[in-house]
Chain A
Amino acid sequence: MPSITKTRLLAFAAATMLAGAAMPAIAQDEPLTGELRIFLDTSNPAPRAAMEGMIARFQEMHPDLDIETTIIDREAYKTQLRNFLSANAPDVATWHAGNRMAPYVEAGLLEDVSDLWDEEVSRDLASTKGSMTIDGKQWGVPYTYYQWGVYYREDLFEQYGIAEPATWDEFKAACQTLLDNDVKCVSIGTKFLWTAAGWFDYVNLRTNGYEFHMDLTAGRVPWTDERVRQTFANWRELIDMGAYIDNHTSYSWQEALPFMVQGDAAMYLMGNFVVAPLREAGLTDDQIGFFQFPSIDADLPMAEEAPTDTFHIPAQAQNKEAARAFLRYVVDAENQSIINAELGQLPVNSQATIEDDEFLNAGFEMLSSAQGLSQFFDRDAPAEMAKAGMEGFQEFMVRPDNLDAILERLERVRQRVY
């Protein structure tokens, strides 16, 4: 927080200066001048380096531009965004696609950037255009997306003779084998709630399919529906087994990593960003494996989670000229190849090259054949529903017997929110 106040003061000084001196560049070829203030939520080491690299390259292209970058802690950013968008906005800010950006679009805080989505961009970024579109206009550009799936300790699986499970029964059997050998099946840290939503999303996608899941997050299905209960019943099988590590409510997702690194737990359902810290912690690629979340209902086509991270221009930005140029650079195929190689994630631009990496290849293959892509529970559902839902999931993981009360509570929230 203090860092923000500081930058605000700076920004205020800068803004007053700009107000007097801003000279809109007439043609695109004119060198970009003035100040470009970029707010980033990429506070984890790998994404931070990737973003700083990208900004440095952009700076090289526009040496006259005075770029000021502020990196804000990822969790804190989520609450600060709304403040800095409505007062003293930066010129460029990161955020997420889908329902997560809807309130800001509706409040008129984001700039309509449909002009950036020309024919070429629309073709190369077709896969995410839908999730960037509200009211027929585009409100930002995506720079990365990543697959979710089960990351596991290959060496432990080998040691206990477990094959990658493809079905729910195989998955449970694998868990049982691990538990019999005093290894917890799944590591998870639910302190910040959203990790539990990953489990709900996948069990629900596999139990009831993509359309149902999207209907549920869009509020078209009551939470007390029998099919929702079936999802929780399937999930409960793991909970009753003791598959999850103990005391997961005390940990963030990072704090739950050591269990997997030390071999106390064998699997982790997470986005691909988990690979970088696992490698850093000393695991080799021979020890880390990846498989698609197993199917539960064999008749259902597989849909996947693939959250998209994005860049936006706040409506109150001072230097929109430079901001547009920056966004244009963000979607550039070559740039997306570079940053996503560093991020360890997938480029959105279809012309970009994917780094030859075991996990990225697996993810790309999985996502290309997916029936549908969901963003994530807290991006598909409206904020209030997401909060109540994720809290309910966490409660369910600790006290599965409370399910009826949880579902009734969620249903009340659903009726109010939608």
Chain B
Amino acid sequence: MVAVATPPRGAKRKAKAPTAFGGYWRRNQLKLAPWLFLAPGAFFFALYVVAPILQSFQISLYEWDGLGTREYVGLRNYEELWWDDAFWTALRNNVVWLVLYLLAIPGGLFIALFLNQTVRGIRIYKSLFFFPFVISQVVVGLVFAWFYDPTFGLFNEILGVFGLGPVAVLGDPDYVTYGIIAAGLWPQTAYCMILYLTGLNAVDPEQIEAGRLDGAKGWRMLWYVVLPQLRPATFIAFVVTIIGALRSFDLVSVMTAGGPFGESRVLAYYMFEVALSEYGFRMGYGAAIAVVLFAIMMIYIAFFLTKMYRDEKGV
């Protein structure tokens, strides 16, 4: 009898809080804890990311100058976008950005391969190559604006040596977008390079050795042995470059302010111009552009998420 009455360990604590909640908590502790830890992050994500997105959707249905009263106009802002040449120019430029910006990935890869050797002072070379990513985009923009200057810029001096030019890259509607992208590639290549450099550290030397024994050299070695091992780095480089291309704004703003006559605008800049700049203040229209940009980004984000999900499942 006595033995039976002996309470098990921990029963004392249980006896102190025999509430329904306590019991629930004990039963589901493992399931709930992660959510509790996520809660602060989730709360701020909802407040500062999700809510503004929804708000943008809402504002895009209104005509609003940001100060006065809003007027509900339904989908008229989107209809106007359809007829707006400037919008299509910006969209086209965004596509050009997306495609050309990807050059940063092979560029970064080759610089990384080139720098991945043990030479005296290699760290200095590496940091020099990484340097453009560290400086502000605004500075990059200014430097390139001077570089392209038609009267005293280095670019035209170089062209002059070959008897060409001068070309006002940033003043010419045909070249301006490419000129800005070239400036953007400078830091972006450095970024991809650093991703690949860390990736190369993780390449298994035994596999290289094995490949070498089997007679793999040069391109074949790179393609069949090294690159597959760099897949995670490539994936990240791809993501950051795509996102970087879609949110390109600072360079456009600093180098040309969208000009000449709007030929270098991208969606992000056009949205700023319409909604927030000197002659803008059409919040609804700006929000409509933002929604379109969001939809484009969504395509990529969905693609990446599914890919990540599948990869995780595969492992």
Which A residues are closer than 8 A to B by beta carbons?
75, 78-79, 82, 86, 103, 106-107, 109, 190-193, 246-251, 258, 378, 383-384, 386-387, 391-392, 394-395, 398-399, 405, 409, 412, 416
Contacts and interface: CB of A to CB of B under 8 A. Distances in A.
A192 B258 CA distance: 10
Given A109-B67, A387-B279, A387-B280, A249 B85 contact: no
Contacts of B40: none
A388 to B, nearest CB: 8
Contacts of A191: 171, 256-257, 259-260
B257 A391 contact: no
Given A82-B281, A107-B67, A107-B68, A246 B261 contact: no
B65 A103 contact: yes
Given A248-B171, A383-B278, A82 B261 contact: no
A247 B150 contact: yes
Given A387-B278, A394-B260, 13 more contacts: A82-B67, A86-B67, A106-B68, A109-B67, A191-B171, A193-B259, A247-B171, A250-B150, A383-B278, A386-B279, A394-B259, A394-B261, A409-B85
Given A191-B259, A249-B171, A250-B170, A103 B276 contact: no
Contacts of A405: 85
Interface core residue of B151, B257, B278 (most chain A CB under 10 Å)? B278
A191 to B, nearest CB: 6
Nearest to B65: A103
Interface core residue of B277, B279, B282 (most chain A CB under 10 Å)? B279
Contacts of A251: 171
Contact of B168 (A103, A250, A386): A250
B262 interface: yes
A222 B91 CA distance: 29
B282 A384 contact: yes
B160 interface: no
A186 to B, nearest CB: 16
B262 A250 contact: no
B281 A249 contact: no
A387 B168 CA distance: 23
B292 to A, nearest CB: 19
Interface in B239-268: 256-257, 259-262
Contacts of A392: 261
A387 B166 CA distance: 30
A392 B168 CA distance: 20
B280 A246 contact: no
A106 B83 CA distance: 30
A191 B148 CA distance: 14
- Interface size bracket, B side: 20 to 34
Interface of B: 65-68, 80, 83, 85, 148-151, 166, 168, 170-173, 256-257, 259-262, 276-282
A246 B277 contact: no
B261 A398 contact: yes
B171 A250 contact: yes
A399 B282 CA distance: 28
Contacts of B259: 191, 193, 249, 391, 394
A413 to B, nearest CB: 10
A268 to B, nearest CB: 17
> When A and B form their complex, which 5 residue pairs have the shortest distance between CB atoms, in order from nearest?
A387-B279, A247-B168, A250-B171, A249-B260, A395-B261
A378 B68 CA distance: 22
Nearest to A81: B278
Contacts of A79: 276-278
Nearest to A408: B85
Contacts of A387: 278-280
Given A247-B150, A249-B260, A395-B261, A103 B67 contact: yes
A92 B262 CA distance: 34
A192 B276 contact: no
A327 B173 CA distance: 45
15 contacts: A79-B277, A82-B67, A107-B68, A192-B257, A248-B171, A249-B168, A249-B170, A250-B149, A384-B279, A384-B280, A387-B279, A392-B261, A394-B260, A398-B260, A398-B261
Contacts of B170: 249-250
A193 B278 CA distance: 12
Nearest to B282: A384
Contacts of A398: 173, 260-261
Given A107-B68, A247-B168, A247-B171, A391 B277 contact: no
Contacts of B67: 82, 86, 103, 107, 109
Interface core residue of B67, B83, B166, B262 (most chain A CB under 10 Å)? B67
B87 to A, nearest CB: 12
Contacts of B277: 79
A391 B261 contact: yes
B262 to A, nearest CB: 6
A70 to B, nearest CB: 19
Contacts of B85: 405, 409
B307 to A, nearest CB: 38
A193 B148 CA distance: 20
B6 to A, nearest CB: 66
Nearest to B145: A250
A192 B260 CA distance: 9
Interface core residue of B166, B172, B261, B262 (most chain A CB under 10 Å)? B261
